[in-house]
Amino acid sequence: MAGPNQALPADPDAGFSLYVHWPYCDRICPYCDFNVRRTQSVDVVAWRAAFRAEMVHLRAAQSASAQRLTSIYFGGGTPSLMAPELIAGVIEDATTTWGIADNAEITVEANPTSSETARFADYRAVGVNRLSLGIQSMDDTALRFLGRNHSADQARHALGEAAAIFDRTTFDLIYGRPGQTLAAWKEELRGALTIAAGHASLYQLTIEDGTAFAAARRRGTLVTPEEMVLADLYDATQDIMADAGLPAYEISNHAGPSEQGQHNLTYWNYGAYAGIGPGAHGRLVIDGRRVATETIRDPDGWRCAALAKGHGVADQIVLDDEACSDELLVTGLRLAAGVPGPRFAAVTGYDLAQLSMAPRVTTLREENLISIDDGRLTATATGRRLLNGVIAEIAVDLSWLADQTTLAPG
Ligand SMILES: C[S@@+](CC[C@H](N)C(=O)[O-])C[C@H]1O[C@@H](n2cnc3c(N)ncnc32)[C@H](O)[C@@H]1O
Ligand code: SF4
């Protein structure tokens, strides 16, 4: 077994991905704390050159034997506001920089307004093969509350158009909204399932600091459901989706095995990925160490830096063993499949048999929050709902194991 303090090789089975951040949106939704700005006119040639420069910079930092890309994800913001020629240019430059697997998944996040739907065929023509649509709700009153600029009918129409054009589609819904009852959510979700094509992301509404919703909650004008109600909504979501053949493979993501999102699986399986564009995060293996990158958040500042000095990377941090162990748990335990024993051992330095003897892990297993079976560490459905607490307990046990190792005689 490898011990801690070893260099951490990339896991080729986890894939190698490229995340491209597009920061602009037609309007800013009151719940959203992503790195977003109101739409402005952009210089497509300059943006392509900036993306290309940053790709070349990150590729040069990796070893000569870096993997080919297994996925590209255009996220935002609203990437469906990107000109098709810019998407085409980024795909072409990424292919030149890293090479790309024949069956690579190339996803664009889209909003369901008609101007964006009109670009779908052009995206398909330049190589995009998966579309992720932000429906958010099937109910017009809820969509107004969420500050969206589309109706439920427009969303249904957009998903229909997408399904006719792309090999694979998925959509996002937000539940746990103020006043939402269990019965209302069940009906809404069953309605959404009638238009689902194999994958859905179902997010519980989070009130993020600095958003309009956070201010409304402080004023007392926005009241989120009680914990007990949220737990019931989560449990019903798991049951309805599993019955429909789209079980949770991750806390918020539901699909059959062939439809799971390969790009996000690279994150959750603790693979390597490059992140380009304003405020993008990456995890690369450089000189055998896992390195976290983060770029300048301001879009103009990022673009100018990338054009002037070849990249807009603001932070590049070599992750130590403890940080790697934490990240492995935070990402891997989101998955229903959990963390395979060999990967756990390679990153933490302990095998699952050792972990299973630790005191807090023993309690977590007795409480049915985690399991160690078939050579994998997994969180149960309930454990995934309480994941932060579960991970904190396992982290304490990893320190306990380190102390045992230090104290062991000779
Ligand atoms: C990058 S965002 C949005 C993509 C696209 N611009 C849209 O709005 O449809 C990805 C997804 O995160 C989810 N999301 C964003 N903020 C959230 C929050 N505060 N609580 C729950 N889900 C959230 C939404 O479902 C959204 O579709
Ligand atoms: S939810 Fe989507 S459209 Fe709304 S502000 Fe966030 S990224 Fe933009």
pLDDT, tens only, 117-172: 889 999 999 999 999 999 999 999 999 999 999 999 999 999 999 999 999 999 99
Q: Which ligand lies nearest to the CA atom of residue 224 in the structure?
A: 1
The confidence score (pLDDT) of residue 218 equals 97
Evaluate whether 203 touches 252 at the Cβ level (below 8 Å): yes
- Tell whether the model's pLDDT for residue 109 goes beyond 60: yes
Which numbered atom of ligand 1 lies nearest the CA of 31? 19
Substitution candidate for ligand 2 out of 21, 25, 206, 207 with most atoms within 8 A of CB = 25
Residues 345-369, mean pLDDT to the nearest whole number: 96
Residue 368, number of CB atoms within 10 A of its CB: 11
Which numbered atom of ligand 1 lies nearest the CA of 136? 25
- Tell whether the model's pLDDT for residue 3 goes beyond 60: no
The confidence score (pLDDT) of residue 404 equals 85
Residues 47-68, mean pLDDT to the nearest whole number: 94
The confidence score (pLDDT) of residue 141 equals 97
Mean pLDDT of the chain: 94
Q: What is the pLDDT of residues 175-195, one digit of tens each?
A: 999 999 999 999 999 999 999
Element at 45 (helix H, strand E): helix 44-61
CA 168 – ligand 2 centroid, Å:
22
**CA nearest to 50, candidates 10, 22, 11, 75:** 22
Evaluate whether 182 touches 239 at the Cβ level (below 8 Å): no
Q: Confirm or reject: Cβ of 25 under 6 Å from ligand 2.
A: yes
Which numbered atom of ligand 2 lies nearest the CA of 111? 3
Q: Which residues line ligand 1 (CB under 6 A)?
A: 25, 31-32, 34, 75-76, 78, 109, 111, 134, 136, 172, 174, 203, 205-206, 208
- Tell whether the model's pLDDT for residue 2 goes beyond 60: no
Separation of alpha carbons 275 and 280, rounded Å: 5
| pTM for the full predicted model | 0.95
Residue 336, number of CB atoms within 10 A of its CB: 16
Separation of alpha carbons 166 and 161, rounded Å: 9
Residues of the chain with pLDDT > 90: what percent? 90
Separation of alpha carbons 42 and 131, rounded Å: 23
Q: Encoding tokens for residue 70? A: 């297994």
Q: Tell me: cis bond preceding 77? Omega within 30 of 0 counts.
A: yes
Q: Assign 409 a pLDDT band (cuts: 50, 70, 90).
A: low
The confidence score (pLDDT) of residue 6 equals 47
Which numbered atom of ligand 1 lies nearest the CA of 78? 6
CA 32 – ligand 1 centroid, Å:
7
Q: Confirm or reject: Cβ of 28 under 6 Å from ligand 2.
A: yes
Separation of alpha carbons 293 and 2, rounded Å: 26
HEC assignment per residue over 369-392: CEEEECCEEEECHHHHHCHHHHHH
Residues 61-82, mean pLDDT to the nearest whole number: 93
The confidence score (pLDDT) of residue 19 equals 98
The residue whose C-alpha atom lies closest to atom 4 belonging to ligand 2 is 29
CA 174 – ligand 1 centroid, Å:
8
Which numbered atom of ligand 1 lies nearest the CA of 34? 1
Residues 73-82, mean pLDDT to the nearest whole number: 96
Which numbered atom of ligand 2 lies nearest the CA of 148? 4
CA 134 – ligand 1 centroid, Å:
7
